[in-house]
Every structure is written in C-alpha cells, then in structure tokens.
Structure 1
Amino acid sequence: MSKKNSEGAGLDFIESPEALAGQISKAETFFRKNQKLLIGAGAAIVLALVAFAGYRFYIDGQESTAQVALSNAVYDFEADSLQRALNGSGGNEGLLGIADNYGGTDAANLASFYAGVSLLKQGKFDEAIDRLKSFSSSDLLVEARAKSLIGDAYMEKNQPAEAISFYKKAADYKANQFFTPIYLMKLGIAQEKAQQPKDAISSYKRIIDEFPLSAEVVNAKKYMGMLEGQVGE
C-alpha cells in the first residue's frame, strides 16, 4: 500500500459505507470468537466493583463501632488505668481487642498506638514494639512519636543499635523545632551507648546548628564537648 493510500485510510473509513461495514463485520467476528473471554472479563470487573463497594460498606460500619469502643478505652488510658485500657471493662472492648478485631479501620490503627504506649509503660517491651510497629500515620507528630517510642523500648532492652535505627527515623520524619531536637538527643545517647562517639557528636552538633533555640542545646553542647575530649577532636 502506498503512503498516500495509507494516509487516506482513516478518511475512507469515515466516508465509505463499505469500509464501515467491513469494520463492523470484523468486530462481530472478533466478538464471536472471544465471546466467553469478553463476558468473563466483564463479569470479573462487575464482581470487583461490587466487592469493593461491599468492603467499603463493611469497613464504614466497623469504623463507627470501633470509634465508640476506642473512646472508652482512651478514657481509661488517660486515667492511667492501663490494664482496663488494654483489656476493656464493663463490656467495653480494650485497645488490644479493638486493634485485633477491627482491622482496616482508623480506630484499630490508633488503638495499636495507644496499646503500644500502655505496654511500654508496663515494661512489656517486646509487645509494645510489635504494637507500635503495626501503627502508621501521616500525622506530623504522632508518626515520629511512635518511632521514638520503639527506640525507647529497644533502649530498655539494652539494644542501642536497634534503638538508633528508630530514633533516626523519628528525627528525620518531617523535622520540626519542637520534637526533632528531643529525638536527636535520644539518638546521640543511643550512639554513645553503642560505642559510636563520632556519630553521637554529629547528632549533638545537628541540634546546636539546626535548632539553636531548643531546650536541648545546653545538654547537646555539654555532651558533645565531653565526647570531643575523649576522641581527641
């Protein structure tokens, strides 16, 4: 076929009844040959849409129920009744039950955070780590806080290397002048305990350079000065 004929093929299709009929015939032939496949694909799409709509309806219902349960558990948490908060009381579900029974809801996710904090306060460090690791948030403060708490749990377990990893994540998550210096101070202390004095100096220096108005600057300067004397800097 010449270049000219090829360029005119689209126009022929629009203007010529014979060309249009030929295209329709081809489409009919293709449908007859692939009828089962096309119907199956269409049914699969419909089922997927129905399943998604059903899942959203189910999750929305679960969310409402879980939020009510969570409000009761958080009340106990804030009253420092940690055992009641974790396990529930008076027919109300506790944080552990909400986190486990309402998966996929925001309430279950937040329950994991509260449960992790409660377990950490009780000295149940491994359980606290598991709960806090299952929590995630885009919130400026809470996500970093969760990482820092995991670091605290590892420090309590005398595992500074693991703590360092989570303190770094906390310090690097959406840095701000209020909480980042605290996480950097914890990071420096963990690095000292892990026999990483030069890394600790860098963490303390970051506080001094990037957050000069923070309350942590005084201790950062003191600790950095002592370490510099030890490493000969």
Structure 2
Amino acid sequence: MATYNKRGYKPKTKKEKEVVEEILDSESTTAEVFSTLDEGANKTEEWVSKNQNIILYIIGGIAVAALAYWAYTQFVVAPKSQEAVSEMTQANIYYNDALTATGEVQDSLYTLALEGGEGKYGFLKIIEEYSGTDAANLANYQAGMAYLNLGGTNYQNAIDHLTEYKGGDSVLESIALAGIGDALIQVNQTGDAISFYMQAAETNANEFTSPKYLLKAANAALITGDNATAIKALETIESTYGDSDEATTAKVLLGQAQAAGN
C-alpha cells in the first residue's frame, strides 16, 4: 500500500494516480486533525499550569471536608449517640410503664417520660440536647405518642413531634402517621386526617395494621363527604384484607358509601 512513497515512484495508470491522490489528501486531513488536537492540549496544559493553585485548593477542600465529616461522625456523633441512649433509659422506663397503666397514674408516667425524673432527661430534653441522633429521633416518636395519650390541650404537640419522627418504611412510621391522623381528628381537622390514615395503611403494609388504618380513613372520608376516598379504602379492605376483623364492617360501610355516591 505504501509503494507510492518510494523515491522515484510514479503512478503508471490513471487509476493508480487517483488512489495516490486520495491517500495524500487523507494524510493531509489527518495531520490537520492531530495539529488541532495538539493545540487544544497545549491550551489545556496552559490553563492547568496557570490555575494549578486553584485546582489544588479545590482538591484539598474536598479532602478536608471528607476528613472533617469522618471525624465528626466518629468522634462527635457516635459518642453523642451512646450518651443519648444511656440518658434516655429512665424516660423509656416511664414510657413503657405508662403503656400498661390507667387514669392519673398513666398521665403521671407519660409526663415523667416527657419531662424526666430521678436526675435523668425526659424525651423533650433528649430531643433538645441530642438533636441529629437516632435517640432524639425515637424520642420524637415517643413524645408524640405520650402527648396523644395525654389528650386535652396536647394534640398539637403530638402532631408536631410525630411529624418530626422519621421512621422510613417501618411499623413505627405507620403508627406515627396514624397518630397524626388521630390527633387531627381531635382538633376537628378530619379532612386532613384522611391522607395520614391512607399513608399509614400503605407504610409497611400488613394484615394487622393496614385494614385498621384504612377503616379509619374510610370513616373520616364519610364524615367529610369524600365518598370516592371512602369507597377506595373500603374496597381495598375487601380485596386485600378480606380475612381481617375490619372486613365485615367495611362491607357494610361500602354499601352505604356506594349508595351515597349514586
């Protein structure tokens, strides 16, 4: 293929001449491309050379930030979390005892769980002092449920703390969402409660809690005249949770909702 480069070589036919010219044109274009690339590379090298201090500062800043985050999690967050769990022990005892108590004794135990006792923090102080830890997150859930059970003027506090709790797709998250719905019902915001009940039913869906929350959603929807949502919730109970205790009640209410919708 390269015989045309040999000294003294001349194409003998018209066809050979055309081939040689085509190859030479191709080589010329390739050379231009490489020349352009070289110029671009030179410009890039010049920019890097001129701005190398800035580049080093940026890289150094990223490294410092990563190191700072690691140090923060290892030497601040981890010890803080352990301390929070230890500090929270007494509040948990009050809270767990309150779950099985009744009347004034129950109210007293929930109050101690919230405010603390025996020289230990309650949930409210845990939330304040150990913000960002798992213990503080759980304390928001427990504080919210404590306020919900105390009732009276405490429903808004229940809503505030349960809203702050982040439980992912856990059973506690579904209970917290339903708790917000219950509190909203108590402060006459029934329409707002519906969506929280529906979310509670969908979060960590199971045959025990989901039909309960769907039935609550249906009842709230019927009260507000939202028959479409009521029908949707009741039909889900029938189709998905037909063996649940709520299924019989759902069947009756579904007939009423469908009749009201016609």
Larger Rg: 2
**Equivalent residue number for residue 87 of structure 2:** 69
Q: Is 2:147 aligned against 1:119?
A: yes
* Contact 2:90/2:117 (<8 A) preserved: no
**Equivalent residue number for residue 175 of structure 1:** 205
Mark the runs of 5 or more structure 2 residues left unpaired by the alignment. Answer: 1-26, 99-108
**Equivalent residue number for residue 49 of structure 1:** 66
What RMSD in Å do the two structures reach over aligned CA positions?
Answer: 2.6
Structure 1 range deviating more: 174-183 or 42-51: 42-51
Percent identity for Structure 1 against Structure 2: 31
**Equivalent residue number for residue 216 of structure 1:** 246
**Equivalent residue number for residue 105 of structure 2:** none
User: Structure 1 residues 3, 107: closer, same or farther in 2, change over 3 A?
Assistant: farther
**Equivalent residue number for residue 57 of structure 2:** 40
Given candidates 73, 85, 88, the residue that maps to 2:116 is: 88
> What's the CA shift for 1:232?
6.5
Mark the runs of 5 or more structure 1 residues left unpaired by the alignment. Answer: 14-22
The residue type equivalent to 1:163 in the other structure is A
* Contact 2:116/2:122 (<8 A) preserved: yes
- How many residues align structurally? 221
**Equivalent residue number for residue 177 of structure 2:** 147
State the TM-score, normalized to the length of structure 2: 0.76
> What's the CA shift for 1:174?
3.4
**Aligned partners of 2:126 and 2:112: how far apart in 1?**
13
User: Structure 1 residues 127, 232: closer, same or farther in 2, change over 3 A?
Assistant: closer
The residue type equivalent to 2:53 in the other structure is K
Query: What does 1:9-24 correspond to in 2, within 5 Å?
Result: none
**Aligned partners of 1:68 and 1:180: how far apart in 2?**
34
User: Structure 1 residues 216, 3: closer, same or farther in 2, change over 3 A?
Assistant: farther
